Structure 1
Amino acid sequence: MINFEVNICTILQRPNRGTVGKRKPKTNFVEVRTFWHLFRSFDRMWIFLILAFQAMVIVAWSPSGSPAAFFDEDVFKSVLSIFITSALLNFLQVTLDIILSWKAWGSLKYTQIFRYLLKFAVAAVWVVVLPIGYSSSVQNPTGLVKFFTNWAGDWRNQSFYNYAIAIYMIPNILAALLFMLPPLRKSMERSNMRIIVLFLWWAQASPKLYVGRGMHEDMFSLLKYTLFWILLLISKLAFSYYVEILPLIGPTKLIMGLRVGNYEWHEFFPNVNHNLGVVISIWAPIVLVYFMDTQIWYAIFSTIFGGIHGAFSHLGEIRTLGMLRTRFESVPRAFSKRLVPLSKDETTGRYLTRPYQRKDIAKFSEVWNEFINCMRAEDLISNRERGLLLVPYFSSETVIQWPPFLLASKIPIALDMAKDFKGRDADLFKKIGNDIYMLSAVTECYETFRDLLSYLLADEEDKLAVTKIFEIVDDRIKQNKLLSEFRMSELPELNSKLGKLLTFLKSDLEDEESYEAQIVNIIQDILEIITQDVMVNGDGILHRHDDTHNDKNKQKFAKLNLGFKNNKSWMEKVNRLHLLLTVKESAINVPINLEARRRMTFFTNSLFMTMPSAPKVRNMLSFRSVPLNPFF
């Protein structure tokens, strides 16, 4: 311990020698800020655009100026000069690789350094060989071409340049072949043969072992990707040729042929022939537009292809809450199709044609309600909005119970429609049935009200009287005599009393006797309204109930079952029925929060997208935990 403290003190008292010694190189990325990164990072794009521009200028400069002149022998030989330009640009790219990574050479392996130097040497060789080969194929050379021709000596053979081009293109042909054949590329990347390892070492600077090695797109995806860029580049080059380059060739030839003796202004290029200063000034904007309009064409084609692909992939089918309401009935089935694995006897085709199954609602409601509860926990929606958005966990067997925000104001509208309706029962039922949510709300309220009354009444004779009333209603509906034997104009009064009953049922139980007495009075009022006001011939039902009652002096419908307070299922039904009967305003603005709306539309829209079916959990491969780095 003493020696350790002595060493620390010695180090602290030692003078600063940070500037002495060799500087340790960087180990990873060394940033060199320069505009040459624009070329180095997108070298293939720049090389293609420059070569295409050179070829189009050569073809447009021909006497005819037509693209068909490309197949003329002299024009074709001139177009072959683009390979010399390609060699020069490739040499520039290799040189930039060396210069911009020079500070990191101290941490590179010798194989990586050797690769940089070898690529530089090969690029330099092609810069010399291709001009010599091209000059040997030109008849009556002049200027720089004549210099290379004299240097070539005995190589004056037209086929030499063609052979040089063929050899020069071999790496590009192999790269295109590997790009179009992903299985071959995958097998090569996984192979350990020395010749293949050497080839990959030359083709790519990344190490052989990296995350994602051997993982490539399928043939169809590559075909779509290639077709996209082929159409884009054809459109871009055609526009550039006919609109930008070809109209400027004639004026350029005219300007280069003019002889100007005296300039009114200062001559910027006094020693240049053929008015090249003027030519450069008129071609500079065209060249800039030529290089920059690629992004415009990309924006156009990406919009067109993206729209078509999105339509076929069902992207953005639900963009607003209004669209969500119209499509919500198909959401549970889409959920079961996309996120619930199919059984052995089900296929996708059979699944789409099978009838609507209630288990779809049951599975969907669990996830949907959890989604709504999460938004409430994040305070994106209020308690009232939460109640309007939840799907009942306990669904009825005869009617699909949708979220209340879809059924809001449906009951008041149906009551207004029925109380003044003049016509046949079938016409009224058809009018209500045209709105699937209105029909669902009416059916659910009727069945819930019937079940709730039967559950509240503890006396069996009282239950029989209520059951008799609803049997008469069901029978008249089947016989299409509902409008003739029931006064629809009294339904709003019945709805008001029922809303009052539900309000009491939802309230807290403080004084049980007073609480029970109030509920009994409301139930008696409801049954009197039904039998005396709504039903044309309903007076005898309660009278027969009095005659069959054992205790004549006992109050009717006075014995109640208040156990629903501790029953979650029944309290959920009470709250839901109260919402359906009392919410008169439209729930089109539910939820109000914009983020909650975005999440709802995104969640439902994702269910309609074309995506693989969900596998069973037991069939999923486990993901092994590996260190989070790009290498194995």
Structure 2
Amino acid sequence: MIITTKQLLDSTIAEHEWDWQAIFSVSNKFIIGLLWLPVVLVYLADTQIWYSIYSLFVGAAMGLLQLLGEIRNIKQMRWRFRLSSAEGEMWAATAFQNALIWNEIGTTFREEDIISDQEVELLQLPPNSWEIRIIRWPCFLLGNELLRALDLATDLYDAPDNWLWYKICKNEYRRCAVIETYDCVKYLMLHKLIKSNTEEHSIHEVLFQEIDHSIEIKKFTKTFRMIALRQIHSKLIKLVVLLLEPNKNLNEIATAMQSLYAIVVSYLFKANMTMDQLRKDGLG
């Protein structure tokens, strides 16, 4: 086609009697254009194909790069917040300031409609409303750590306290979940549900003193049945659900508390105690 094009450029169109004779009378550029038009169209089509292929690879690469570091679920988000005991102590030094900033970020995300109300609750750093001995982490970080601690207690039911606590403390959030749960249950029973200066309050106070003493002398696994912790956990969940209902049924709450107390005094202690022994120890 190049040779033909050169020949057309060097030659002239012979005179003809057709009406379009004037078009070709000056030069052969129009014929050259018609000759190369299919070539140009094919070239543009090839260019579009190669551009599509190029866009495919570039778009895939950009998409992969943009997805790097993206958090798609709670599990991945928890993985980004892995924390050691030393790092937890560093966080505790500025826990109040960090909580304010963190909660403000969650509030901003909700205002921008990036997250839902339920996700805000999972992200929220709860304030230390009462004297809890550890940092109160967001719920999404604690996750199922309490259930994992219960599994450890069930599996290591006859192990020494030091070994069980060592296994629990291998995960900082698990350690915090156990301590926070115990402190919350203790506060709930002694300061919210049971009136002070009553016999029921004295019984529960003695019970918690017994638990604290066994932990202090490192004989918790020797004093209590670890298998009973699962049943106590399920009873506590049922009680909390009843307490969170808008229209609280006091009879159901009282029944749930009695059921919880029955499991504690009859099944939690390894030593089978009679009612007289329970009354003597202040537990009945």
Displacement of 1:325 in angstroms is: 1.2
Alignment CA distance shift 1:471-1:393 (3 Å) = same
Pair 1:454-2:190 in alignment: yes
Report 1:363-402 matches (<5 A): 363-394=97-128, 396-402=131-137
Alignment CA distance shift 1:536-1:381 (3 Å) = same
Pair 1:527-2:261 in alignment: yes
Q: Check conservation: 1:432, 1:438, Cα contact below 8 A.
A: yes
Residues in 2 aligned to 1:443 and 1:357: alpha-carbon distance in whole angstroms = 17
Displacement of 1:356 in angstroms is: 4.1
Q: Check conservation: 1:457, 1:463, Cα contact below 8 A.
A: yes
What value does the CA root-mean-square deviation take over the aligned residues? 3.0
Q: Check conservation: 1:368, 1:390, Cα contact below 8 A.
A: yes
Pair 1:404-2:139 in alignment: yes
Displacement of 1:408 in angstroms is: 0.4
CA deviation string 1:512-556 (max 9, x = no partner): xxx11111111111111111111123745896559989xxxxxx9
Residues in 1 aligned to 2:115 and 2:84: alpha-carbon distance in whole angstroms = 20
What does residue 163 of structure 2 align with? 427
Q: Check conservation: 1:531, 1:541, Cα contact below 8 A.
A: no
Displacement of 1:392 in angstroms is: 1.0
What does residue 263 of structure 1 align with? none
**Which residue identity lines up with residue 452 of structure 1 in the other structure?**
L
Alignment CA distance shift 1:444-1:538 (3 Å) = farther
Alignment CA distance shift 1:536-1:547 (3 Å) = closer
What does residue 475 of structure 1 align with? 213
Q: Check conservation: 1:465, 1:545, Cα contact below 8 A.
A: no
Displacement of 1:509 in angstroms is: 2.4
CA deviation string 1:236-263 (max 9, x = no partner): xxxxxxxxxxxxxxxxxxxxxxxxxxxx
> Structure 1: any 5+ residue segments left out of the alignment?
1-317, 333-354, 550-555, 557-632
Residues in 1 aligned to 2:204 and 2:175: alpha-carbon distance in whole angstroms = 23
What does residue 234 of structure 2 align with? 496
Residue 174 (structure 2) aligned to one of 419, 428, 438: 438
Alignment CA distance shift 1:525-1:447 (3 Å) = same
Residue 243 (structure 2) aligned to one of 496, 499, 505: 505
Residues in 2 aligned to 1:464 and 1:405: alpha-carbon distance in whole angstroms = 36
CA deviation string 1:117-151 (max 9, x = no partner): xxxxxxxxxxxxxxxxxxxxxxxxxxxxxxxxxxx
DSSP 3-state at the match of 1:441: helix
Pair 1:465-2:200 in alignment: no
DSSP 3-state at the match of 2:94: helix
What does residue 23 of structure 2 align with? none
Q: Check conservation: 1:366, 1:393, Cα contact below 8 A.
A: no
Residues in 1 aligned to 2:206 and 2:145: alpha-carbon distance in whole angstroms = 27
Q: Check conservation: 2:124, 2:138, Cα contact below 8 A.
A: yes
The normalised TM-score by structure 1 is: 0.30
**Which residue identity lines up with residue 385 of structure 1 in the other structure?**
E
CA deviation string 1:591-623 (max 9, x = no partner): xxxxxxxxxxxxxxxxxxxxxxxxxxxxxxxxx
Q: Check conservation: 2:154, 2:226, Cα contact below 8 A.
A: yes
Alignment CA distance shift 1:537-1:405 (3 Å) = same
DSSP 3-state at the match of 2:239: helix
Residues in 1 aligned to 2:225 and 2:182: alpha-carbon distance in whole angstroms = 16
Alignment CA distance shift 1:546-1:517 (3 Å) = farther
DSSP 3-state at the match of 1:326: coil
Equivalences, count: 207
Alignment CA distance shift 1:424-1:330 (3 Å) = closer
Q: Check conservation: 1:501, 1:522, Cα contact below 8 A.
A: yes
Residues in 2 aligned to 1:541 and 1:358: alpha-carbon distance in whole angstroms = 45
Residues in 2 aligned to 1:324 and 1:450: alpha-carbon distance in whole angstroms = 32
What does residue 326 of structure 1 align with? 82
> Structure 2: any 5+ residue segments left out of the alignment?
1-68, 72-76
Alignment CA distance shift 1:360-1:519 (3 Å) = same
Displacement of 1:420 in angstroms is: 2.2
DSSP 3-state at the match of 2:173: helix
Displacement of 1:372 in angstroms is: 0.7
Residues in 2 aligned to 1:397 and 1:506: alpha-carbon distance in whole angstroms = 21
DSSP 3-state at the match of 1:399: coil
Alignment CA distance shift 1:452-1:543 (3 Å) = farther
**Which residue identity lines up with residue 201 of structure 2 in the other structure?**
K
Residues in 1 aligned to 2:83 and 2:251: alpha-carbon distance in whole angstroms = 45
Displacement of 1:492 in angstroms is: 1.1
Report 1:273-422 matches (<5 A): 321-322=77-78, 324-327=80-83, 356=90, 358=92, 360-394=94-128, 396-421=131-156, 422=158
Alignment CA distance shift 1:541-1:463 (3 Å) = farther
CA deviation string 1:58-86 (max 9, x = no partner): xxxxxxxxxxxxxxxxxxxxxxxxxxxxx
Residues in 1 aligned to 2:275 and 2:134: alpha-carbon distance in whole angstroms = 29
CA deviation string 1:173-230 (max 9, x = no partner): xxxxxxxxxxxxxxxxxxxxxxxxxxxxxxxxxxxxxxxxxxxxxxxxxxxxxxxxxx
Q: Check conservation: 1:418, 1:488, Cα contact below 8 A.
A: yes
